[in-house]
Chain A
Amino acid sequence: MELYMSLAIGVLFTVGVYLVLSKSLLRIILGTSLLTHGVHLLLLTMSRLKTGAAPLLGQKAESYVDPLPQALILTSIVISFGVTSFFFVLAYKAYQKLGTDDMEQLRGEENE
């Protein structure tokens, strides 16, 4: 399972980076969002998958999965949500104001 997860993470990173390198501002943000998914799955995979029950003590199981990465990922999800929404609004305003979302056209002036 970890092997296939690793491959999926690789695909998430590949497409994420490819989008980040594109010209459209929107696609760059979508790329960061895919990169975030990749990182979350990476965190989860690195602590071994399916080694026990969900981390709820009420289950009275023999073993539980590692709860610490889950806590870390939860924090990360919330933070990346905040950042992504801010970026989106920023992109939206830039688009409204400048009339383009092409990064090549958003370049700074010479000798700025």
Chain B
Amino acid sequence: MYLLHLVIILPFIFALGSLFVSKVKQHIHTGWFILPAPILIFIYFVLRLPEVRNGEQLTASVPWMPSLGVNFTVYLDGLSLLFALLISGVGSLVILYSIFYLNKRKEAIAQFYIYLLLFMGAMLGVVLSDNLIVLYGFWELTSISSFLLIAFWHQRERSRYGALKSMLITVFGGLAMLSGFLLLYVITGTFSIRGISANVSTIAEHSLFVPAMLLVLLGAFTKSAQFPFHIWLPDAMEAPTPVSAYLHSATMVKAGLYLVARLSPIFAGEAGWFWLVSGTGILTLIYGSYRALKQTDLKSMLAFSTISQLGLIMSLLGLGSAAAIYSDTGASLFYVKATMAGIFHLINHAVFKGALFMVVGIVDHETGTRDIRKLGGLMSVMPVTFSIALIGTFSMAGLPPFNGFLSKEMFFTAVLNIMEMDVLNMQFLGIVFPVIAWIASIFTFIYSMLLLFKTFTGQQFDKLEKKPHEAPLGMLLPPVVLAALAVVFGLFPNLLSYTLIEPAMAAIHPTMLVPGQQFDAAIHIWHGWTTEVFMTLGVVAAGIVFYRLHHRVKLLHQPLFSGITLNKSYDGGLNLLDKAAKGLTDRYMTGSIRHYSMYIFVFLIVSITVTMGGSSNIRFDFSEFAPMSLYEAVVIFALIVSVIAVAFAHTRMMAIILTGTAGYMVTLFFVIFRAPDLALTQMIVETVSVTLFLLCFYHLPKLKKEIESMRFILPNLIIALGVGGVMTLLALSASSSRSFDSISDFFIKESYNLAGGKNIVNVILVDFRGFDTMLEIVVLSIASYAIYALIRLKLVHEGHPVRRG
């Protein structure tokens, strides 16, 4: 066990501890006991910064299932460190915030912190694991803990709905991802990510390479709420706001981004990867920003905003993968800029979106509503909250001097660069990327402004549940820290670029650098009068115009496709699945034993016919058949007639007697075919059973039905004829071909010598194969005990068994 392992385990230890603490120390908010965990982890990771910056990679491994190639291997490089810092940093702030947000008397806070810590540990495990199976395990644990957190207020129906939806979608993606991982294992024979990326050139030729890529991407897209799998995220907003801030803006939804970035070295050379990742990302960007405009609930607006920003980062990671297509040329460094923008925006988004969610939580907490139509004029009452919101929204809209401005500029640079790409049909489609990016930025600008000004300016409403006032200091502190970071990263972006972004880029593009060289990740706050600046100016101008016109342009605030929405298809699909499964089961599970017997017999006919038809060893050879005498012909005729007559018998008495007749005919056959013991037994058994049957049914009251003869039902006859025909063919083919000599020669020869008996059948029964006989006696005794019990056991009417005697 190494320190790196301990860091992952630490939240789980605290989760266990919080269970006891919440019981023992009830007057102190459990959150205070939890807070050290993320802070310690954060400090640990900050201290690792210099080592990672120098290109050292910390790795540690503990064997778990070595025979299957599954080891708990952790691995810290630039990319993992970036995510680990986000998780522990935002985690500390969120826990601090939640201490003031959740009431320790009214809420089940012990559960809350256990789930939250489970999530934190799982998320650290995802970003630090080198082994794909371990990564998958932690990945599913994030899904499960997210499910628990969304449904934290499980009395509400909407919470349970949202939790179930997110569970179904992310677990669906997770399972697809697992199959992708298994395919990667089939291709390479190792689960280690570093091991797989080491021999990437050989695996790209493999036929399973593309399926593996698609399945892994499915996992990443569902987790990161990419179109069309984004539908779970707006419904996940039923969770407590700290959860939304942490899971659904800063960490879990970025797990998919992490996966894409982490596996980029493996898949990036593939054209499909470039198209899927960047295309899905850009589609999600425009769709999310457009839908965010129409929301009236602040958290839904932020949810769609998150979706759109995740799409932005995803598309940047896709565009950055173009560098691998141009590997070995100078052009590759040109496209790497997109990756840099992606990483930078990933940090920025976590910062400002975390702050915005906390702001919304404060507004909700202090006014009792999140509806944008009921809010207004909070600027003067809540000045600090307003300042944070202003920084957050301006940063989100991409305005200087905040960090969002820089990442938006870099985003524009990346999409403009991609226009110049001359492979993969980009000379025609290249223009699409900048256009969509520009329009989406306008939408982003508009909803950011709506979010800020509709909440904090204008008329103050009187109908609010509470008298609004500024939030307590503890609740304000975390968003203030995040807002300050947004400003600091905006003014001094190189703080990040040298410490975090460069090592992360080195992790995403490992082959791009000659040893010793480093990416030029310097970010300049002002870079001259470039095209990007004019694009931003255009965004601001168009944004202001549309914001002014907001009420008059229906496109911006009224639902456009109310007929068919993805949510409706999801709900309808689930419903349909439910109904179809029930319908199918109802159709074949009729409860009628006749139907079930029919299935069995039809299956018997079909399977034997198909097997016999397909086999070349079936032959019918009548040459060695024994001749038939007149006497035997008469007996066979009598058997057939009596058997057929059973089916036509009018009364059950008649049917019993005819069955008995058939049994006596069988006895005669045993006589003819030289089987005296069989004939004896068959005769006795037949006599006893017929007597028993007659005795039983003679005493029964006559019901109206029983006199009726059998009704003729054609399907029954067809199935019966089918079984009969098949069995005849089986008997013929079995008796006309014999592959081996019988072992009976042994019994005949040794019956007297070994066992001292001349009746060979009896010797077999009690000597050679005595075990059969013993168990057959057991069967008979069980049957007789059961019959005795059936007769003696009296059941009272209501179905309560009463034991007698």
Contacts and interface: CB of A to CB of B under 8 A. Distances in A.
Contacts of B677: 70, 74
Contacts of A13: 720, 723-724, 727-728
Interface stretch (B167-175, B367-375, B520-528, B775-783): B775-783
B783 A85 contact: yes
B593 interface: yes
A99 B702 CA distance: 10
Contact of B731 (A42, A57, A77): A42
30 contacts: A6-B728, A8-B639, A8-B640, A10-B724, A12-B724, A13-B720, A14-B723, A17-B720, A17-B723, A21-B720, A22-B716, A24-B652, A24-B706, A24-B710, A26-B655, A33-B659, A38-B727, A44-B673, A49-B673, A50-B626, A55-B761, A57-B752, A65-B674, A67-B760, A67-B764, A74-B765, A77-B685, A89-B791, A97-B795, A101-B703
B628 to A, nearest CB: 5
A86 B717 CA distance: 28
A37 B636 CA distance: 13
Interface string B600-644: 010000000000000000000010111110001100100110011
B271 to A, nearest CB: 54
Interface string A14-54: 11111111111011001001100110111011111111111
B717 A57 contact: no
- Interface size band for A: 35 or more
B689 A79 contact: no
Given A10-B724, A27-B710, A56 B759 contact: yes
Given A19-B647, A82-B783, A64 B681 contact: no
Contacts of B597: 20-21
B757 to A, nearest CB: 8
A22 to B, nearest CB: 5
B692 A88 contact: yes
B514 interface: no
Nearest to B622: A3
Contacts of A81: 685, 688-689, 780
A112 B747 CA distance: 54
Given A45-B735, A104-B592, A7 B728 contact: yes
Contact of B626 (A1, A42, A67, A86): A1
Interface string B761-805: 100110001001100100110111011001100010000000000
A89 B790 contact: yes
B416 interface: no
Interface in B647-677: 647, 652, 655-656, 659, 662-663, 666, 669-670, 672-677
Given A2-B735, A50-B626, A71 B769 contact: yes
Contacts of B776: 75, 78-79
Interface of A: 1-24, 26-27, 30, 33-34, 37-38, 40-42, 44-58, 64-68, 70-71, 73-75, 77-79, 81-86, 88-90, 92-93, 95-97, 99-104, 106-108
A4 B636 contact: yes
Contacts of B669: 41, 44
A30 B646 contact: yes
Most chain B Cβ neighbours within 10 Å, of A11, A74, A95 = A74
A44 B675 contact: yes
Shortest 8 CB-CB distances between A and B: which pairs?
A14-B724, A10-B728, A82-B783, A18-B720, A57-B758, A54-B674, A6-B731, A55-B760
A92 to B, nearest CB: 5
Given A8-B639, A45-B731, A75-B772, 20 more contacts: A1-B627, A4-B636, A7-B728, A9-B728, A11-B640, A15-B643, A15-B646, A26-B656, A27-B652, A30-B659, A37-B663, A47-B735, A48-B735, A50-B673, A68-B747, A78-B780, A79-B776, A83-B783, A86-B787, A104-B592
A46 B779 contact: no
Contacts of B784: 82
Contacts of A83: 779, 783
B43 interface: no
B66 interface: no
Interface string B574-597: 000000000000000001111001
Contacts of A53: 674
A5 B640 CA distance: 10
Given A1-B625, A6-B731, A77 B742 contact: no
A30 to B, nearest CB: 5
A21 B713 contact: yes
Given A10-B728, A77-B681, A99 B716 contact: no
A49 B671 CA distance: 12
Nearest to B748: A64
Contacts of B633: 4
Interface stretch (B334-342, B421-429, B693-701): B693-701
A47 B741 CA distance: 11
A37 B647 contact: no
B682 interface: yes
A58 B758 contact: yes
B491 interface: no
A85 B744 contact: no
B743 interface: yes
B734 interface: yes
Given A26-B697, A44-B675, A21 B719 contact: yes
A6 B710 contact: no
Given A5-B731, A81-B685, A83-B783, A10 B765 contact: no
Contact of A50 (B674, B681, B688): B674
Contact of B700 (A2, A65, A92, A107): A92
B598 interface: yes
Contacts of A8: 636, 639-640
B228 interface: no
A69 to B, nearest CB: 9
B61 interface: no
Contacts of B752: 57
A88 B647 contact: no
B325 interface: no
A2 B732 contact: yes
A84 to B, nearest CB: 6
Interface in B46-67: none
Nearest to A7: B728
Most chain A Cβ neighbours within 10 Å, of B659, B769, B782 = B659
